[in-house]
A = this chain, B = another copy of it.
């Protein structure tokens, strides 16, 4: 990675963290270049606008991050429903970077920007859809092998799980870390009753 690529990815990483904590609109370019020690000329050389930087963050920082935390854990050999439960548990309790009071970077951005910017909405929709499909696939296979009742809809269950994650990340902002345990406990009960 050359020096130029390094500046670019430094901007993306630091801006991602600032946006995670304060929101996209509340994170000014001036603050980004101040914390990264990158000048304005360099910033606008790498990104023609703030929006372009925001979209780059979604695609180059959030996509890989969510694949690692949200999808990869679904690929190993554990059985249903424990596989989904463990994925969720790792997501909520196992990531040292996430701060409960700040929620989830992707969920936050959906909340803030989906209604305001179609390009953001599209990029973020893809992110959620990918996760939901990965969960749905796991559920479908479990249904085929008889681990889940045949009258249930994997697509619908997957959506219910995704909404639950989105919601608990938001409620964590007001209730703090303790509520993650309540959610996980209830999720476990819900998942067990699928079979």
Residues on A facing B (Cβ under 8 Å): 21-23, 25-26, 101-103, 107-108, 110-112, 114-116, 121, 124-125, 128, 152, 155-157, 159-160, 162-168, 170-171, 173-175, 179, 182-183, 185-187, 189-190, 193
Tell me which residues across on chain B come within 8 A of A168, comparing CB atoms: 163, 166-167
Tell me which residues across on chain B come within 8 A of A165, comparing CB atoms: 167
CB of B171 within 8 A of CB of A26, answer no
Task: Tell me what chain A mostly uses at the interface: helix, strand, loop, or mixed.
Answer: helix
Query: In the docked arrangement, what's the CA distance between A120 and B190, Å?
Result: 33
Query: In the docked arrangement, what's the CA distance between A168 and B166, Å?
Result: 8
CB-based nearest B residue for A102: B115
Min distance, Cβ A145 to any Cβ of chain B, angstroms: 21
Min distance, Cβ A172 to any Cβ of chain B, angstroms: 9
Top 8 A-B pairs, shortest CB-CB distance: A167-B167, A163-B167, A166-B167, A160-B186, A114-B173, A111-B111, A125-B174, A163-B168
